[in-house]
Amino acid sequence: MLTYKYPGIYIPKLSAKKIDTWKNLCDQLPKLQAFLKRRYNELSPIFLAQDQELMRKNGIPSFHSQQPNQYEEAFSGNITTTWNNFYNKAHLDNDVNTMTLICHYMINEITGEIATFDEGANQVQGGQLAFCDLKSSIDFAQSDGWTDSLVATNTVWHQTLPSKKPPGCPFGRFGFSTQINQWLQQASKAFKEEGGEVRGLDKTFVLVQEKLL
């Protein structure tokens, strides 16, 4: 079994037959990074610049690149995805970034394509992003399209509520968020302060893991 590692991506063990497919998908991550940067910038250029400075200052590798010292687009070291009626308990995050970019949209879970209300995606209800102390929520079921939000996830208690849909419904909600994890920040900063030079992603992971052990 083989693994193919990028910073901030939780990657399953892959067979030799699937490793090339996974690599091809990972090669598309720079496009995703640039796309999310544009959306983040539309919401708050100030918080985007703050995250980019954190990445540069601490030498944190972006989730998208095998060249961690390139920071032109980098604003996040981790990306987390959710699907298939994901929900969780109320919690606070413990990340370095002040604000978290959270994106949601509907998909056809059979084809993986983005789905619309005209296609029947409005059969999926619930799944709100709830802010417990504020007694409010973002109801994604009311949005026929993509929803972006910036949330102070370190200070605002939040949770994703369960979704409901009729039997046989092929649609579901797909979401993802970006973070700068503390463990990656601390390990990257320690390595940078020792004057290390990162050359290639595999070496980055070896050195960062050494700092964590």
Q: What is the mean pLDDT of residues 190-204?
A: 57
pLDDT confidence of residue 206? 44
pLDDT confidence of residue 212? 42
pLDDT confidence of residue 60? 84
Q: pLDDT for 143-187, tens place per residue?
A: 898 999 999 999 999 999 999 999 999 999 999 899 998 888 887
Which residue matches tokens 């990306």? Answer: 79
pLDDT confidence of residue 201? 44
Nearest to 147 by CA among 100, 113, 105: 105
Q: How many CB atoms lie within 10 A of CB 45?
A: 10
Task: Indicate if the pLDDT at residue 3 is higher than 50.
Answer: no
Task: Indicate if the pLDDT at residue 197 is higher than 60.
Answer: no
Q: pLDDT for 96-148, tens place per residue?
A: 999 999 999 999 999 989 999 999 999 999 999 999 999 999 999 898 989 99
Q: pLDDT for 17-26, tens place per residue?
A: 777 777 787 7
The domains of the chain are located at: 35-182
What is the distance between the alpha carbons of residues 188 and 183, in angstroms, rounded to a whole number? 8
Q: pLDDT for 56-108, tens place per residue?
A: 888 888 887 655 555 567 899 888 889 888 999 999 999 999 999 999 999 99
What is the distance between the alpha carbons of residues 85 and 171, in angstroms, rounded to a whole number? 10
What is the distance between the alpha carbons of residues 97 and 146, in angstroms, rounded to a whole number? 23
What is the distance between the alpha carbons of residues 86 and 104, in angstroms, rounded to a whole number? 12
Which of residues 88 and 188 earns the better pLDDT score?
88
Phi-psi region of 88 (alpha: psi -120 to 50; beta: other; left: phi over 0): beta
- DSSP3 helix / strand / coil % (the chain, rounded to 5): 35, 20, 45
Where does residue 107 rank: exposed (0-12), middle (13-18), buried (19+ CB within 10 A)? middle
Which of residues 172 and 191 earns the better pLDDT score?
172
Which residue matches tokens 């910036």? Answer: 150
